[in-house]
Homo-oligomer: A and B are copies of this chain.
């Protein structure tokens, strides 16, 4: 049952999380190959107490590999994933390279695991903002059918990689010491600031690439092209764990007690929604956890007199998921 596994981008923020999760879950591994750019080759990483050298990623790196986990950016995936597939390796790709390829399943295991069986060598992992949003919404969608999602994100430095997290720390120290704030990795000061997500803006519509991923990936994962997604993606001064404020419009009237029961029966989501103590999910408390935490679940304030949308009901939540 044990598999030969490769991690592409092993020294990156996500690569290191891959290692932690494989170790924590005791994934049955026969051989573990760590791959990265020539810059990182020669380093060693620790897995289950054993030091493993980081090797240079090459097209023939996969000849003895059954499963390769890629997280080294879209261009590396585009260049090396086909080579891996040619050796019979199954590629699980964390980049955006193949997500919208109709030949590639885009899978959140808790939501559409059945799509995996149609794979042709590559299985794509969605964007982190899409995953946490859909984990929170899917149990409600199954109950009442979601028509529209309006979402604003509170995204951590982690989404921009390990170097961005390091720079956030450097920025904070510099700012507190009244020194010049470095912006070598991040486009602006993130420490004690907020900025619109720095992915390129599509000049035809004003949405940035992060937002467009959330729109398009949602339609594909849910097999529901008609669903409307209105995202605004924003980076905030946190190290890890994205948060989102979500409002949904539903096809059918909803009941919050039923929604909470559905969450309790849905693996991967935890409800943390203590109105009396004003205690809800927070990035510092969910960092390092796999589950998505959901809170502030409530009906729209003026649901009942919203005559134009007689079947309108909304839910808002602040959700977090380890990312990466």
Contacts and interface: CB of A to CB of B under 8 A. Distances in A.
A206 B236 contact: no
A4 interface: no
A188 B286 CA distance: 14
Contact of A275 (B150, B193, B201, B299): B201
Nearest to A274: B201
Contact of A234 (B154, B187, B314): B154
Contacts of A222: none
A306 B228 contact: yes
Interface in A282-324: 282-284, 295-302, 306, 308-309, 314, 316, 318
- Oligomeric state, in copies: 2
Interface residues of A, number: 60
A278 interface: yes
Question: What are the 9 A-B residue pairs with the smallest beta carbon separation, nearest first?
Answer: A206-B298, A152-B152, A152-B245, A237-B237, A232-B245, A201-B275, A196-B280, A193-B284, A228-B302
Given A172-B192, A228-B300, 8 more contacts: A152-B152, A152-B245, A195-B282, A198-B278, A200-B278, A207-B301, A228-B306, A230-B300
